[in-house]
C-alpha cells in the first residue's frame, strides 16, 4: 500500500518507518521536503521511503496519516488539500494539547467535541480513524510489555476504514478495541492525557493501556 | 474505621458491604433510612451495617463515600451538611452522566471541569479523593481478571487522604495509580465513559483497565 505521512515530527518518523518496515511505500509530506530531518529520515528508512510537499504526500497515499501538532493541523490539511484525501482512510494520531500553562499540557478541546471530530469536519469526504494517540511514539511499533499486548483504542465512522487500520495495528503487534464513531475521540483524547500526565509524574514513558477482559 | 455511605444505589450497596466485610462499621445514609432496600441491605450486610439520614451517615463516618447519581449530588451534599464532612476523607465515586439523549450516556461536565472538582468545591473543607469511578460495581471488590489485578486510577489534592484510600483499594485487591490533584478527574471521568461505552457495545461489564508498565 502507498501511505502518505503528514508531519515530520517523531510520530510521523516512527510510524512512517514502521509502515516501510511492513513493506509499504511511504511518502513523508512537509512544508519543505528538502529540510535536513526529512532527508535524514528518507536515507535511514531506505528504498520504500520518499518525501514531498504536503499535497504530494496526500495525493500519493492510498492511506494517509495525520501526525501534526494540533495547532498546525488545520493549515496542514489546507496545504494537503482535502480533495487529495477524498474517499481515503485518514488516520488521526493527534492530541489537541494546550501547553499555554506549561507542562503537563491540558486539552485544548473536549467534552462536547474532540480533535477527531474536528479533523473529520475538516475532511468531510475522508474516512477518519482515530488511532495511535494513546501511547508514546517509542511504543507505537511492536509494543512490548509484561502482560501485553496492550490495547489500541480506535474510533471512526467507517467500519471498513477501521478494519484497514486494525490490520495495520495488528501487524504492529497491537490488540485493537473499536470504540465506535469518531465522537468517541472525546474519550480517547482524555485517555492520552492520562498517559501523558503519568509520563510527567513518573519521568517514564514505559506504559500502555490494556482493557482486561473475561 | 467508621464509614458513611451517601446513596443507596448499587455502588453504595456494593462498597458498603465491601467495607463491612473488611471489618469497618458502615452507616448507609439516605433520604428515608426506613425504605425497604435500605433495611434489606442492613439485614444482609450484618452487624457492622446500619442506616440513617444523610446527615447522620455524614456525621458518623470518619471516611465518607459519595455514591449518588450526579443529578442529585449537590442536594445530597446539602442534606448531609458539609460541616459534617469537614476535615474528612470523602471518596467521590460519581460519574457525571447525561442520559438526556438516551444510552450510552454522555458526560454532563468535562474538559475544563469535572464532577470531582465540583464535589471538592461543594466540600471545600473535605479531602476529596476520586476513586471507584472507572469500573462497574460488580468488579469494585476483589476484581478478578486474567492479567490482573487491574489498576484503579485515583486523584485528589491531599496526599494523606489518597494514602488512606489506597489502603482500602489494596485491601479490595486493586493496584492503585495516583494521577495527581483532583483536576485529574477531568481524565478519570472520560475513562469511565470508555468503560461504559464498551459495556454498551459488548453487552458485557466484565472489563477493567490496567496500565501495563515496565
Q: Write the ipTM.
A: 0.97
CB-based contact A162:A121 (threshold 8 Å):
no
* pLDDT score recorded for residue B47: 97
Phi-psi region of B199 (alpha: psi -120 to 50; beta: other; left: phi over 0): alpha
Q: Alpha-carbon distance A4 to A136, whole Å?
A: 21
The band of A151, judged by pLDDT with boundaries at 50, 70 and 90, is very high
* Cross-chain CB nearest to A179 (options B177, B197, B207): B197
Q: What is the mean pLDDT of residues B102-120?
A: 97
| Three-state DSSP class for residue B145 | coil
CA distance A57 to chain B (A): 34
Chain B residues inside the 8 Å CB shell of A110: 110-112, 186, 190
Helix (H) or strand (E) holding A153: strand A151-156
In chain B, the residue whose alpha carbon lies closest to the alpha carbon of A195 is B211
Dump pLDDT digits (tens) for A186-198. Answer: 999 999 999 999 9
pLDDT in tens, B165-209: 999 999 999 999 999 999 999 999 999 999 999 999 999 999 999
Between chains, do A198 and B191 touch, taking CB under 8 Å as contact? no
Q: What is the mean pLDDT of residues A94-105?
A: 96
- Give percent of chain A above pLDDT 70: 100
| CB-CB contact of A192 with A185 (8 Å) | no
pLDDT band at A92 (very low <50, low <70, confident <90, very high): very high
Cis omega (within 30 of 0) for bond into A104: yes
Name the DSSP letter for residue A48: T
- What distance lies between CA A113 and its chain's CA centroid? 18
- List CB contacts of A178: < 8 A, sequence separation 6 or more: A154, A155, A162, A166, B201
Task: State the average pLDDT over residues B108-118.
Answer: 97
**Average pLDDT along chain B:** 98
Task: Measure CB to CB from residue B111 to each of A111, A197, A211 and give the nearest one.
Answer: A111
Contacts of A150 in chain B (CB under 8 A): 212
CA pair distance A132, A141, nearest whole angstrom? 10
Q: Does the distance separating the beta carbons of B208 and A187 come in below 8 Å?
A: no
**Grid cell of A12 as nine digits:** 510521523
Q: What is the pLDDT of residue B175?
A: 98
Distance (Å, whole) CA B80 – CA B126: 13
- Give me the percent of chain A exceeding a pLDDT of 90: 100
What's the whole-number mean pLDDT along residues B65-69? 98
pLDDT for residue A117: 98
* Cβ(B76)–Cβ(B56) below 8 Å: no
Q: Check A213 against B109: CB less than 8 A apart.
A: no
Amino acid at each position: 500500500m502507498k501511505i502518505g505521512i503528514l508531519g515530520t515530527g517523531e510520530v510521523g518518523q516512527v510510524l512512517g518507518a514502521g509502515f516501510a518496515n511492513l513493506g509499504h511505500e511511504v511518502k513523508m509530506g512537509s512544508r519543505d521536503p528538502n529540510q535536513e530531518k526529512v532527508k535524514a529520515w528518507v536515507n535511514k528508512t531506505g528504498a520504500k521511503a520518499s518525501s514531498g510537499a504536503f499535497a504530494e504526500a496526500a495525493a500519493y497515499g492510498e492511506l494517509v496519516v495525520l501526525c501534526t501538532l494540533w495547532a498546525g493541523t488545520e493549515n496542514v490539511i489546507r496545504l494537503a488539500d482535502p480533495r487529495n484525501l477524498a474517499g481515503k482512510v485518514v488516520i488521526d494520531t493527534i492530541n489537541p494539547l494546550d501547553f499555554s500553562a506549561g507542562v503537563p499540557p491540558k486539552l485544548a478541546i473536549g467534552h462536547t467535541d474532540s480533535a477527531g471530530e474536528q479533523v473529520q469536519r475538516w475532511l468531510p469526504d475522508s474516512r477518519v480513524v482515530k488511532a495511535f494517540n494513546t501511547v508514546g511514539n517509542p511504543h507505537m511499533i511492536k509494543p512490548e510489555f509484561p502482560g501485553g499486548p496492550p490495547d489500541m483504542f480506535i474510533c471512526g465512522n467507517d467500519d471498513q476504514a477501521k478494519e484497514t487500520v486494525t490490520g495495520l495495528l495488528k501487524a504492529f503487534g497491537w490488540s485493537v478495541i473499536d470504540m465506535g464513531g469518531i465522537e468517541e475521540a472525546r474519550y480517547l483524547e482524555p485517555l492520552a492525557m492520562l498517559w501523558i500526565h503519568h509520563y510527567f509524574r513518573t519521568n517514564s514513558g514505559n506504559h500502555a493501556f490494556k482493557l482486561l477482559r473475561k
